[in-house]
Amino acid sequence: MMTERITLAHGAGGKISQELMEEVILPEFGNPALNELHDGAVVKMGGQVAFTTDSYVVKPLFFAGGNIGKLAVCGTVNDLAMTGAVPRYISAGVIIEEGFPIADLKVIVHTMRQMAEEAGVSIVTGDTKVVEKGKADGIFINTAGIGDLLPGVRISPRNVRPGMKVILSGYLGDHAAAILAGRHGLELPDTVRTDCAPLNKLVQVMLEAAPDIAVLRDPTRGGLAAVLNEIAGASKTGILIDEEALPIRSEVQGICDILGFDPLYLANEGKVVAFVPANREHAVLEAMRVDPYGREARTIGEVVAEAVGQVGLRTSIGGIRVVDMPLGNLVPRIC
C-alpha cells in the first residue's frame, strides 16, 4: 500500500522504492527499454547523435497550463530539436523532498508521459532519490535526451550572414507571466498560460522547408534578448529587430508595465527563433503557420553587417536602442 507522502524509504532502494516504481512510474512511462529495469537502457540510433541535458527547478511547481514535469520533458526535447535532431530517448532523474505528496508526483509523472507521447520520445531510464525535508524545494527533475541528427542540416551561429531574416514562432513572455501569477499580488486572466510545448515537430517542418536554416534557438531563460545577443556575438554580425513586429499579449505587457519588466527578457518555453536565408523566409513562415505551435510565426528582424555583436531594436517611434544581455534575475523595480 502506498502512503500519501514520499518518505525517505521511497528512495532507499528496497521494497518501498519498488512499490513507487511499480505503482507511480511504470504505469505511465512503461516501454520495452524501461521495463527491463536494468542499470541502463539499450537503444538503437541512426547515425550522428545529438545529446543534451538540463535540470528543472521551478517555483511554483504547478502553474497555469503546466507543471515542472511538462518543462522537464519539453525543455530537453526542444534543446535536441534546436540542434536539428529528431529527439528519440529521454532519461529522467528525480530528486524529491521527503513529505512531497504522492498525488502531486502522480500528476507530474502523468504530464511527463503526455508530453513524451506528443513529442514521440520514450523515457527509457531514470532514477529517484529522496532527500530530507528542507534539503530540496519539493521536487527537482533532471532530464537528458538523445536524438538522431537530421541529414543535411548544419545548425551553427557561424552560418549566420547579413541579410538573413529573424523569425519568431509566436507570443513572447507567456511562460514567465504564468509563473509570475500570484507573485507580487498580481491576478492574471485565464488567457495567460505557459507556452511550454514540444517544438520538435514544428522544427522538423521548418527544416524540411529550409534545410539551410542557419540557427534555431529556444528563447528560455533571459528571453529573446539573451538569445539574440549570444547569436550576434557568436556570428560576428549585428541583429536589428522591430518593436512593432514583436508579438506580445496585452496581458503580458500589462504585467511588464506594472512591475517594470521588459518582455524581451521574459522566459519562454515553447518558442523558437530561427535565422533563415531571405529567399526561404516565406516558405518557412508558411510551413510554421500550419503547426499549432507556429500559428503566430512572423519575421521580427534581420541580420546586418554593421554593429557587429550588437542587438538593436527599432522602437515604435522610430529610434533605435540597444538590447543588452540580461544582467541577472528580473526583479520588480519602481524606478
Partner 1 sequence: MTKAEEKETAQNLLNEIKRLSAGLERPWRFMEVCGTHTVSIFRAGLRQMLPGQVELVSGPGCPVCVTPDDYMDRAIAYAEREDVILATFGDMLKVPGSSSSLGEAKAAGADIRIVYSPLDSIQVARENPDKKVVFLAVGFETTAPTAAATVLEAERQGIGNLYMLSAQKLVPPALRMLMSDPEVRVDGFLLPGHVAVVTGTEVFRFVAEEYHMPGVVAGFEPLQILYALLLLCRQAAAGEARIENAYGSVVRSEGNPHSREVLGKVYETADAEWRGIGKIPVSGLRMKEEYARSDIERAVPLDLESKPKKTACRCGEVLRGIVTPRECPLFGKACVPTHAVGPCMVSVEGVCAAWYKYGQGVFRFGG
Partner 2 sequence: MCLAVPAKVIEIRDALGKVELSGVTRDVSLMLLPEARVGDFVLVHAGFAMQIVDEQSAEETNALLAEMNGAPRTVI
- State which of positions 248-287 bind partner 1 (CB under 8 A): 258-260, 262
Of 4, 39, 187, 244, which one interacts with partner 1 (CB under 8 A)?
Answer: 244
The nearer residue to partner 2, 100 or 261, going by C-beta atoms, is: 261
Burial 15-42 (b: 16+ CB within 10 A, else e): ebeeebbeebbeebbeeebbeeeeeebe
Residues that bind partner 2 (CB under 8 A): 184-189, 191-192, 250-251, 253-255, 257-258, 260, 333-335
- The one of partner 2, partner 1, none whose footprint includes residue 316, by CB under 5 to 8 A per kind, is partner 1
Regarding 313 and contact with partner 1 (CB under 8 A), the answer is yes
Shortest Å, Cβ 63 to partner 1: 19
H or E segment to which residue 40 belongs = none
Calpha distance 273→283 (Å, rounded): 15
- The one of partner 1, partner 2, none whose footprint includes residue 187, by CB under 5 to 8 A per kind, is partner 2
CB 163 within 8 A of CB 302: yes
Q: At what angle do helices 200-209 and 68-82 cross, to 10 degrees?
A: 20
Regarding 163 and contact with partner 1 (CB under 8 A), the answer is no
Regarding 319 and contact with partner 1 (CB under 8 A), the answer is yes
Write 317-323 long-range contacts (CB < 8 A, 24+).
320/240, 323/225, 323/228, 323/229, 323/241, 323/264
Regarding 240 and contact with partner 1 (CB under 8 A), the answer is yes
The cell numbers describing 177, all together, are 507571466
The nearer residue to partner 1, 3 or 315, going by C-beta atoms, is: 315
For partner 1, the binding residues (CB under 8 A) are 184-185, 238, 240, 244, 258-260, 262, 304, 306-307, 310, 312-322, 324, 327-328, 331-335
